[in-house]
Amino acid sequence: MSPSWGLCDVLVFGFRCSCLEGATQVRHTLLFYPASFVPVGRRTYADAVNPVGSKAVLVTGCDSGFGFSLAKHLHSKGFLVFAGCLLKDKGDAGVKELDSLKSDRLRTVQLNVCKGEEVEKAVEVVRSSLEDPEKGMWGLVNNAGISTFGEVEFTSMETYKQVAEVNLWGTVRVTKSFLPLIRRAKGRVVNISSMLGRMANPARSPYCITKFGVEAFSDCLRYEMHPQGVKVCVVEPGNFIAATSLYSAEGIQATANKMWDELPEVVRKDYGKKYFDEKVAAMETYCNSGSTDTTPVIDAITHALTAANPYTRYHPMDYYWWLRMQIMTHLPGAISDRIYIH
């Protein structure tokens, strides 16, 4: 399937096959094809590109994953990169590798997005490093994030709050603090959401609600910043779990053990250990899937930071997830639930 297909073409094709054959097998081929077998779409972004010069960009969550790769990539493009790292003060391996580049244009900064004082300190570090702070800072990439899993009845309020504190309130906190600098440069805010910020998924509610929140925040900010000349973009990656540290097999097991131990007796009894273990196993399988190449995500963020006319939303994901997202977001719930959920 070519990326130039319109949504209608895809949907009409999908439905004609589904209806004509009336067979679940066709539906499965079209809609349930294992994502790992479908190549990740490589969109070529054709657009006038602004000169990078020594524009300054701050990226959060650079200890690992997308943030780590992005910091190095933006540095190679000529940006002055401030790489916010959660564990800089603990000498994390990712931080050491970034520091080992020994470049004036790549500076790691201690930054826990949940801590107001660390965010304010990072603003000061950036401001004092700029040649002319009155000209501001070009870009902010809100990338730091955590995830978890578990059905609503398995998830504690504490977990909901922990995930929101990083993914949602962390994004809001950092954005508010850096906006005065970004506004001065008429720069860019790029928020890393997720396909799960557009469509929900069972057993992912703590993550989904934070990413839906990031989407809403980004839209409000985009409307407000338009008159100021600041562009706000959202990047919604698909499944790249195999390429980053968002989940690990040990992490899933540890989370599952804690969750089971803390479950209210009635929930434990009603669902039973067998059901619970099946859900954990499904999560483990999901975490072994996905693309191992983060290039589409890095390209999308780079385009958002450099293009004269960046897109509002970027969808670096394979065709399976792209089609699923279109169906989940454009068709009535009664249909999309039937196709993907029930």
Q: Which residue has the tokens 């073409």?
A: 9
Helical axes 116-129 vs 169-185, angle rounded to 10°: 20
H-state helical runs in the chain: 7-21, 24-31, 65-76, 93-100, 116-129, 157-167, 169-185, 205-225, 249-262, 265-287, 295-306, 319-330, 333-336
- CB of 263 or CB of 304, closer to ligand NAP: 304
Among 60, 108, 155, 205, binds ligand NAP (CB under 6 A): 60
* Dist. CA 18–CA 15, nearest whole Å: 5
Q: Counting contacts by CB under 6 A, is residue 213 touching ligand NAP?
A: no
Q: How far is the CB of 294 from ligand NAP (least distance, A)?
A: 8
Q: Counting contacts by CB under 6 A, is residue 113 touching ligand NAP?
A: yes
Q: Which stretch binds ligand NAP (CB under 6 A): 133-141, 179-187, 234-242, 299-307?
A: 234-242
Among 57, 58, 122, 144, binds ligand NAP (CB under 6 A): 144
Q: What is the DSSP letter of 111?
A: -
CB 290 within 8 A of CB 246: no
Q: Counting contacts by CB under 6 A, is residue 292 touching ligand NAP?
A: no
- CB of 67 or CB of 206, closer to ligand NAP: 67
Q: Counting contacts by CB under 6 A, is residue 63 touching ligand NAP?
A: yes
Q: Which stretch binds ligand NAP (CB under 6 A): 5-13, 154-162, 236-244, 249-257?
A: 236-244
Catalytic residue among 207, 314, 319, 320: 207
Catalytic residue status for 223: no
Among 30, 122, 163, 192, binds ligand NAP (CB under 6 A): 192
Q: How far is the CB of 92 from ligand NAP (least distance, A)?
A: 6
* Dist. CA 181–CA 122, nearest whole Å: 12
Q: Counting contacts by CB under 6 A, is residue 205 touching ligand NAP?
A: no
Tell me if residue 301 falls in helix, strand or coil: helix
**CA 238 centroid distance within chain:** 8
* Dist. CA 326–CA 313, nearest whole Å: 13
Q: Which stretch binds ligand NAP (CB under 6 A): 34-42, 57-65, 99-107, 273-281?
A: 57-65
CB 328 within 8 A of CB 335: no
Q: What is the DSSP letter of 323?
A: H
Among 14, 139, 145, 187, binds ligand NAP (CB under 6 A): 145
Question: Which positions touch ligand NAP (CB under 6 A)?
Answer: 60-61, 63-67, 86-87, 92, 111-114, 143-147, 166, 170, 192, 194, 237, 239-241, 244-246, 290
* Residues assigned a catalytic role: 207
